[in-house]
Amino acid sequence: MVQRQLPKPAELLELMQFKKPELDGRKRRLDAALTISDLRTIAKRRTPKAAFDYTDGAAEGELSLARARQAFQDIEFHPGILTPAPDLDTSVEILGGPSALPFGIAPTGFTRLMQTEGETAGAGAAGAAGIPFTLSTLGTTSIEDVRKANPHGRNWFQLYVMRDRDISYGLARRAAAAGFDTLQFTVDTPVAGARLRDKRNGFSIPPQLTLGTIVNAIPRPWWWIDFLTTPKLEFASLSTTGGTVGELLDAAMDPTISYEDLAVIRDLWPGKLVVKGVQNVEDSKKLVDLGVDGIILSNHGGRQLDRAPIPFHLLPKVVREVGKDATIMIDTGIMNGADIVASMALGAKFTLIGRAYLYGLMAGGRQGVDRTIAILRSEIERTMRLLGVSTIAELEPRHVTQLQRLSPVAQPAARAPRRVAAK
């Protein structure tokens, strides 16, 4: 028989401790976000469709992005037992300097259109966390203002080679003068990818207002208040700002970009030079032979060539071939700290986050970016402890198995030259 009694008031009070209400709405919604996916949900609710879809979308059928994210889900971790890791060290040495975490913020364009604090929020949050921040050529905050937002941290600059080469060279010189220590020379954007969400939404700078745009914006007045009461939205490094995203990219980029341009930039840039957008082993070898400091395996977040190679699948092959001679990094599809841990275990020296950072920015400005970093840090630390490792350097390929979902079919035999019958 169960003995029953009337509850004592003092015991009830111990069991019924109410949580103190959080009156700050922004802090309340960010504290409730436990994953990057949660931040994405908040961002979608608070941001007009055109701006959100620019961040969230990819090229054509968006297969490259979906496959990249699936690749991170298709892994199996192999934890060690009885190997306690009470004191963790998540720091790494990357391209001649420190980072408190094994990831940095990737370059993103149009950032102030996502949320008015834009790159200032990203650079400030990165500086506070002790990780690098990368400014895009298509950024909406100037090189010098990013430096002001992150005066003591590490700032990197992403460079597109444009039709007017002098513009690109001038940007590189400005970044060097502002103390940016690493240049990301981007090679996967000779022309713009077919970003169909943007075309359907009429996404452009300045924004194109339609009846649908206005209806979608009505329940999001805070975004419009920010947009209309802050400095004019424009590219901080470029003078041409009119047109759709594709039109702007096609006007600025040059399909004739070549290794000769890489040589010019190598001579021009005084710091570390990294090539971003590498998608096969052969190009990796050639770049190492040319003396680049690092390689970023990336398909531009799936925003350029759809059905492009999956960077995470490519990672072990490139590390095996050139990992001793250059710093190998990776982006595209990272949505969890476990993705970062898996990448480091398979030989990456560093990772970069793009959408995850922008989801936080749209969800809550600078505080949202801080929340993104905090979520990823927590996931990295928890995964490391569960694997039984205390430092990033202890992560090895034995900790991860890449499970195979997509596998190539056998290549057909080369066709013999077609004979032309004599007349």
Task: Report the catalytic residues.
Answer: 300
CB-based burial, 296-330: b 16+ in 10 Å, e otherwise: bbbbbbbbbbbebbbbbbbbbebbeebbeebbbbb
**CA separation for the pair 257, 385 (Å, rounded):** 45
* Cα–Cα distances in angstroms (integers) from residue 135 to residues 83, 139, 155, 245, in the given order: 40, 6, 8, 18
Beta bridge partners of 89: 391
Q: How many CA atoms lie within 13 A of 423 on its CB side?
A: 0
End-to-end CA, the chain = 106
AA letter at 407: S
For 253, other C-beta atoms within 10 Å of its C-beta total 19
Structure tokens at 90: 């998540």
Q: Which amino acid is at 402?
A: Q
Here the tokens at position 129 are 């966390």
Pairing mode, strands 97-99 and 103-105: unpaired
Cβ within 8 Å of residue 179, ≥6 positions away:
147, 155
**Distance, CA of 139 to CA of 119 (rounded, Å):** 7
CA distances from 179 to 98, 102, 172 (A): 15, 22, 11
Residues with Cβ within 8 Å of residue 6, at least 6 apart in sequence:
none
Task: Report the C-alpha gap between 202 and 210 in whole angstroms.
Answer: 9
| Owner of token pair 């094994």 | 102
Q: Which residues neighbour 236 within 8 Å (Cβ) at sequence distance 6 or greater?
A: 139, 140, 141, 142, 143, 145
The DSSP 8-state label assigned to residue 78 in this structure reads: -
366 C-beta neighbours (distance < 10 Å), count: 19
Residue matched to tokens 């297969």 = 63
- Please give the radius of gyration of the chain, using alpha carbons only, rounded to the nearest integer: 24
Cα(115)–Cα(108) distance, integer angstroms: 13
